[in-house]
Structure 1
Amino acid sequence: MTTATTRHGDRRISPVFLGILAVTAVTGWATWTGFAEQPGVAVFLFVTSAWIVSLCLHEYAHARTALHSGDISIGAKGYLTLNPAKYTHALLSVVLPVLFVIMGGIGLPGGAVFIERHRIRGRWRHSLISAAGPLTNVLFALVCTAPFWLGALDGVPLAFRFALAFLALLQVTAAILNSLPVPGLDGYGVLEPWLSRSLRSQVEPFAPFGLLFVFALLWVPAVNGVFFDVIDSILSALGVHELETYCGLELFRFWQGEHELCSVTA
Structure 2
Amino acid sequence: MHGAQKRSTWIMVSPAVALIGVFIFVPMVLTIWLSFHQWSTQTGFGTAEFVGLRNYRDIFGPISVGRDFKRAFSNTAIYTALSVVLILPLSVALGLLVYQSRVAGGNLLRTVLFSTYMVPMIAVALVWSKLYSPTEGPINQILSWVGIGPQPWLSSPDTALVSIVILNVWQQVGYFTVLAIAGLTQIPTTLYEAARIDGANPIQEFFGVTLPLLRRTLLFSAVIAVINAVQVFEPVALITQGGPANATNVLTYHIRRVGIERAQGGLGSAMAVMLMLSLIVVIILIFALARQREERT
* Fold agreement, TM-score > 0.5: no
Whichever of the two has the greater Rg, that structure is 2
Which protein, 1 or 2, shows the higher relative CO under an 8 Å CA cutoff with sep ≥ 6?
Answer: 2
